[in-house]
């Protein structure tokens, strides 16, 4: 498991708006049995964090103190510009389990898609897990080669994950499906409609033929 680092400094007595103008982001560190702490983060340094850092253990380097092990619990952003307004860090203990959400990575080739031209639909892009900090994976694999037939599905129970990690999502909940191609459904519907429309005409022709024989 990768470990990511970030520098945090004591929060200056300035408004949040002024801090952001200076390239800083207000942040809070909180956790069980520990008073919350207000800090500030360099906005540019935070923007350089890879996506994996948002679901992994993060080491905050604080001024004059010991590194603090945290995970990012919440990031408040401006909806129009994606600029960061505020960050919440949750302090974790390395010997205690925690709950995190990690991305799902789809691997393999679906026979239903390859052979029957099924449409591949994702129902979930992440999975909620409970584990120790050092067990947090970069991602959890979902093998779509199990999608062999049209309208087949894989669930959270089918994910490739360590036995020591607990999946918190309902195991029977669908992660991805291989559904019947929409074009095929339309063709079937059109064919059924044509057959239904042709049925009265055929019946009428039979009745006329019977009447002629009489």
The Cα 147–Cα 129 span in angstroms is 24
Options 2.40.10.10, 3.30.365.10, 3.50.50.60, 2.40.240.10; which CATH number does 4-92 get?
Answer: 2.40.240.10
Q: How big is the CA angle at 92 (ends 31 and 61), to the nearest 5 degrees?
A: 95
Average pLDDT of adjacent 10-residue blocks, the chain of 214 residues: 85 92 95 91 95 91 87 93 93 94 96 96 98 94 97 97 97 97 57 59 56 55
**pTM of structure:** 0.75
Quote the CATH superfamily of domain 99-180.
Ribosomal protein L25, C-terminal domain (2.170.120.20)
Within 10 Å of residue 49's Cβ, how many Cβ atoms? 15
Looking at residue 205, its pLDDT comes to: 54
Looking at residue 117, its pLDDT comes to: 94
Looking at residue 185, its pLDDT comes to: 47
Within 10 Å of residue 55's Cβ, how many Cβ atoms? 19
């Amino acid at each position: 498991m990768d470990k990511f680092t970030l520098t945090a400094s004591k929060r200056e007595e300035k408004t949040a708006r002024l801090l952001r103008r200076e390239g800083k982001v207000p942040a809070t560190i909180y956790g069980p049995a520990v008073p919350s702490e207000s800090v500030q983060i360099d906005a540019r340094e935070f923007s350089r964090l890879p996506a994996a850092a948002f679901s992994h253990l993060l080491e905050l380097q604080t001024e004059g103190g010991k590194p603090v092990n945290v995970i990012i619990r919440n990031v408040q952003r401006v909806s129009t510009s994606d600029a960061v307004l505020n960050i919440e860090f949750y302090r974790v203990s390395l010997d205690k389990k925690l709950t995190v959400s990690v991305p799902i990575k789809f691997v393999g080739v679906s026979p239903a898609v390859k052979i029957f031209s099924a449409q591949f639909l994702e129902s979930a892009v992440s999975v909620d897990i409970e584990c120790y900090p050092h067990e947090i994976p970069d991602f959890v694999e979902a093998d779509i080669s199990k999608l062999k037939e049209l309208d087949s599905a894989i669930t959270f129970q089918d994910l490739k994950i360590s036995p020591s990690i607990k999946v918190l999502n309902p195991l029977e909940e669908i992660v991805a499906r291989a559904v019947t191609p929409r074009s095929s459904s339309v063709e079937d519907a059109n064919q059924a409609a044509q057959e239904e429309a042709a049925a009265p005409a055929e019946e009428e022709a039979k009745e006329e033929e019977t009447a002629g024989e009489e």
